[in-house]
Copies of this chain bind each other. A is one copy, B any other.
């Protein structure tokens, strides 16, 4: 039961689209990730996902609109809703989602897929 300093954890990695687990509670994971560029369109059939911007900003694209997310803003993407995060510049994001969540959801597995995540 140690506190987590978000900035410290973010200093431990530099790659994009590769979430790290930084906490677990009630079957949910708290993750930190850095996004840059375009991710793949996908959805999660059984998991709602929360994205909280720690620094920077990114666009969460939906099929019919785009939500711009800036520092200290968050968005909950309900299960079943197709989405695609796009970050023009690097952004640091805190994620809350069930431990079962695969980053690329229902999309065909690709070099972006992370089947296992490191805990830091």
Contact = CB atoms under 8 A, between A and B. Distances in A.
Interface stretch (A11-19, A25-33, A109-117): A25-33
Contact of A72 (B6, B67, B74, B76): B6
Interface string A1-14: 11111110000000
A47 interface: yes
Given A1-B81, A81-B1, A96-B96, A74 B26 contact: no
A73 interface: yes
Give the number of copies in the complex. Answer: 2
Interface of A: 1-7, 23-26, 28, 30, 47-50, 54, 62, 67, 69, 72-78, 81, 96-98
Interface of A is mostly: strand
Contacts of A6: 72-74
A78 B1 contact: yes
B25 A73 contact: no
Contacts of A3: 67, 69, 73-75
Contacts of A24: 76
B23 A76 contact: yes
A48 B26 contact: yes
A19 B2 CA distance: 23
